[in-house]
Copies of this chain bind each other. A is one copy, B any other.
Amino acid sequence: MRFSKAFIPTLKENPADAEIPSHQLMIRSGMIRQLAAGIYSELPFGWRSAKKAMQIVREEMDRIGAQELFLPSLNPIEVWEETGRAAGFGDELFRLEDRKGRGMCLAPTHEEIICDIARGFIKSYRDLPQIWYQLQTKMRDEPRPRSGVLRGRQFIMKDSYSLDIDQAGLDKSYELHSQAYHRIFERCGLEFFVVGASSGLMGGTGSQEFMVASEHGEDRVALCPGCGYAANLEVAASRAIPIADPDEGDSEIEKVSTPDTRTIEEVSKFLKVKPERLIKTLVIISEEKPVMLLIAGDDDLEEAKLQGVLGAPFRPAHPEEIEELFGCEAGFLGPVNAPQMPIIADSRIMGGKHRITGANENHFHITGVEVGRHFKPDQAANLRAARSGEGCPNCQETLRVTNAIEIGHIFKLGTKYSSAMGAKFLDANGKEQPIIMGSYGIGIARIIACAIESNHDKDGIIWPLSLTPYEIVLIGINMKEAEVSIQTEALYADLLNQGFDVLFDDRDLRPGFKFKDADLLGIPYQIVISPKTIAEDKVEFKQRNSGARQVIKLEEALQIIRG
């Protein structure tokens, strides 16, 4: 492609509304343009990269025997009502009516449509296993679209679905996907890790996320540098650091005045004790009933873990609900002499003595509380978020907690959807069984954004070879000189003939401008031809990743490019 004819609208300045590097660079290099919040047009430079990512995905999905299909975005709402997800997705589901007033929605994922196809055609165990995949646009009305393409309202996903006759079959399909995902992300040049994850709204019996560490990621994960343990904080285990109680024999409770000290920090400071010795008392409402949660003062509640323990949705109690139940503010709650309600305690506080809790009376706390003696939790559970520096649950190393971006997610769904929708098969004994399903996703734009997050410098993008929109940028300096024009034109034709993706910067612009654009666009190899290089019968050759700039024979440069 000639740059003079290409539509690559580069920008010198960072756009005001883009905060993270990938978003800034995708805008500045003319890859994308926002049409509405979370909705982007893929411009030619960006789309070339997306197509390369999609081709890698296709090759690796085909390799595990998956068959590509293409499912509609426009769905009748009834299909989504069969599984309860029309309601389950809530406001995230874009809904509409057709001209006859029939309810429709825009598919945020496709388990329901897969089940509908399966129940139409899959009759017998002989028709299974199947793996079906598509590269298709999903639409989800995200409450807070942000970070450019990382959290959009319309985005291209590779989603695939496995259909099996039993758990062993699902395990195999899941493992095939895991292998394919490893190969895909390796080929895309991403440094990723795999973490155990919560199944969330998808349901099912197991799930893993493929993640790339990034300070701009929305997810938080715990990683062990020793054994490789990696888990989303939503599910991460850890060996918590024990809380040191003062060795003062049996503890006896004492009510102390703590005027205007409500937060852990305030109480800890006021009573001169470490925050860990405080017991934080939280009240949530689940299934319309209050539940008391107790965790150590220096820990954070991990909502996904609580969700798993409750097995039901929940919300924090409102201040007025707390006032009515306890007769005091949220800052002075405690489990001793509390109104009757289930108490779930985080395991880390179990067995503690000499702890401090609220007194259920404004401006008072209780000291000397012994867990199990002064109050009895109904259940002990892992409710806390793992923290950096805690022990790995699998080895003697300590964990590191980092932000990360999810690029892929694999789920063992089991029979949740197939049972709800009657997607069954006759087993070898002629008995009807629900199909065992798996569901697997990769966000194409996230692959691109992660590649940029991990590979850029102050001057621009540094593309990995597998995803770069062009492999070579050929820069003519002083194109008006006949010799430069002749030589660059000839080389451009030659490189195209050799099968390279070439962007030929034939524009009549100052060299500095062209170099800046070349660095911004991040194409791996720059070949520069100027009156000076022609005089030497050489080319200037720059590799974008190292920044190394050499004046060498053309053939030497091509040898480096060919690897």
Contact = CB atoms under 8 A, between A and B. Distances in A.
Nearest to A123: B9
Contacts of A67: 1, 6-7, 44
B73 A137 contact: yes
Interface stretch (A95-103, A244-252, A268-276, A400-408): A95-103
A72 B113 contact: no
A33 interface: yes
A36 interface: yes
Interface stretch (A114-122, A168-176, A474-482, A530-538): A114-122
A563 to B, nearest CB: 24
A43 interface: yes
Contact of A7 (B39, B71, B72, B121): B121
A47 B73 contact: no
A154 B72 contact: yes
A153 interface: yes
Given A113-B35, A117-B33, A153 B71 contact: no
Contacts of A42: 69-71
A68 interface: yes
A94 B74 contact: yes
B41 A117 contact: yes
Interface in A29-78: 30, 33, 35-36, 39-44, 47-48, 50-51, 65, 67-76
B69 A41 contact: yes
A50 B74 contact: no
B35 A75 contact: yes
A156 B35 CA distance: 21
A106 B47 CA distance: 21
B153 A74 contact: yes
A44 B120 CA distance: 15
Contact of A117 (B43, B51, B73, B143): B43
Given A47-B68, A67-B6, A117-B43, A73 B141 contact: no
Contacts of A96: 94-96, 106
A73 B153 CA distance: 11
Contact of A5 (B65, B106, B141): B65
A388 interface: no
Contacts of A98: 94, 141, 153
Contacts of A91: 99
A132 interface: yes
Contacts of A35: 71-72, 75-76, 79, 113, 116
Nearest to A67: B44
- A33, A73, A74, A98: residue with the most chain B Cβ atoms closer than 10 Å: A74
B69 A47 contact: yes
A58 B142 CA distance: 33
A528 interface: no
A139 interface: yes
A130 interface: yes
B76 A73 contact: no
Contact of A132 (B7, B106, B117, B127): B7
Contact of A72 (B41, B47, B48, B50): B41
Q: Which of A35, A91, A92, A156 has the most CB of B within 10 A?
A: A35
B41 A71 contact: yes
Contacts of A117: 33, 41, 43
Given A91-B99, A98-B94, A99-B143, A121 B70 contact: no
Given A6-B67, A96-B94, A116-B35, A40 B72 contact: yes
B70 A41 contact: yes
Nearest to A43: B69
A58 to B, nearest CB: 9
Contacts of A104: 36, 94
A55 B30 CA distance: 25
Contacts of A72: 35-36, 39-41, 154
Given A35-B116, A50-B70, 17 more contacts: A5-B65, A7-B67, A7-B69, A7-B130, A7-B132, A35-B72, A35-B75, A35-B113, A36-B74, A36-B102, A39-B72, A39-B74, A70-B156, A73-B73, A94-B98, A96-B106, A106-B106
Sort A-B residue pairs by CB-CB distance and give the 7 closest, nearest first: A96-B96, A44-B67, A42-B70, A9-B121, A91-B99, A36-B76, A99-B141
19 contacts: A1-B67, A5-B65, A6-B67, A7-B67, A36-B102, A36-B104, A39-B74, A41-B70, A42-B70, A47-B69, A48-B68, A50-B70, A73-B137, A91-B99, A92-B99, A94-B98, A98-B141, A99-B141, A99-B143
Interface of A: 1, 5-7, 9, 30, 33, 35-36, 39-44, 47-48, 50-51, 65, 67-76, 79, 91-92, 94-96, 98-99, 102, 104, 106, 113, 116-117, 120-121, 127, 130, 132, 137, 139, 141, 143, 153-154, 156
